[in-house]
Amino acid sequence: MQLSRNRSILVPLSIIAVSVLGFSLSLFPLWFGMLAAWFLLAGITIIANADQSITIPLRRLFYSVAFAYPVTASMIKRLLLTEKWPYSWLWLNRIEHFLWATCFGVLVMPLVFSWVKSKQAWLREALIAGIVLLIGNANEFLEYSIRLGYHLDKPHYYGDTMIDLFVNLLGAIFAGELIRLLQSGQDKPCI
């Protein structure tokens, strides 16, 4: 019964995924790929019942992030690409990276909780932060390498990359603290 209830959430997630992926094609192909990976990871987590390894408040946070992040991030990405406001790129880019790191930490949380059975919250939080930083930093280095390949304003992009790496760290820490706050001593999964 639990599996069928879990899979029922896949219908609205699929509708949102198709809509957001369709919109993301108008932005650029790499964004489409990132969102496709996001929805794939969310779907795998739900189908594998990993979301059942977390408390109800954390499960609500997971579902909210699985649905809301792609829509919100796509709107931010659209604003970044259209440059609606002069000089908005700097602060929108920081918001984008902080939001990604925080939401990605929440997205991988059920998988980490189902893999790591330790009662020590700091161990799970450290693993979540490590995963977020590994993926986020790999993305930043790839992005920087692409910019070097195009010979774009190298000094400017080096500083931006360093700031983005730091903002990823802040987002990972915030995700860990948010998870700890919502878990609030309830280390038992709710069934």
Q: What is the C-alpha to C-alpha distance for residues 6 and 50, in angstroms, rounded to an integer?
A: 10
Q: What is the C-alpha to C-alpha distance for residues 107 and 68, in angstroms, rounded to an integer?
A: 11
**The length of the chain, given as a count of residues:** 191
pLDDT at 40: 87
Q: What is the C-alpha to C-alpha distance for residues 40 and 61, in angstroms, rounded to an integer?
A: 18
Classify residue 58 by its DSSP letter.
H
Kindly report the CA angle at 168 between 163 and 169, in degrees rounded to 5?
100
Give the pLDDT confidence of 52-101 residue by residue, as tens digits: 888 889 988 999 998 888 888 888 887 877 777 777 777 888 888 899 99
Q: Which residue has the higher pLDDT, 4 or 104?
A: 104
pLDDT at 190: 47
Q: What is the C-alpha to C-alpha distance for residues 5 and 131, in angstroms, rounded to an integer?
A: 29
User: Domain locations in the chain?
Assistant: 2-183
pLDDT at 62: 92
pLDDT at 92: 84
Give the pLDDT confidence of 117-168 residue by residue, as tens digits: 776 778 888 899 999 999 888 887 777 776 666 665 555 666 777 888 899 8
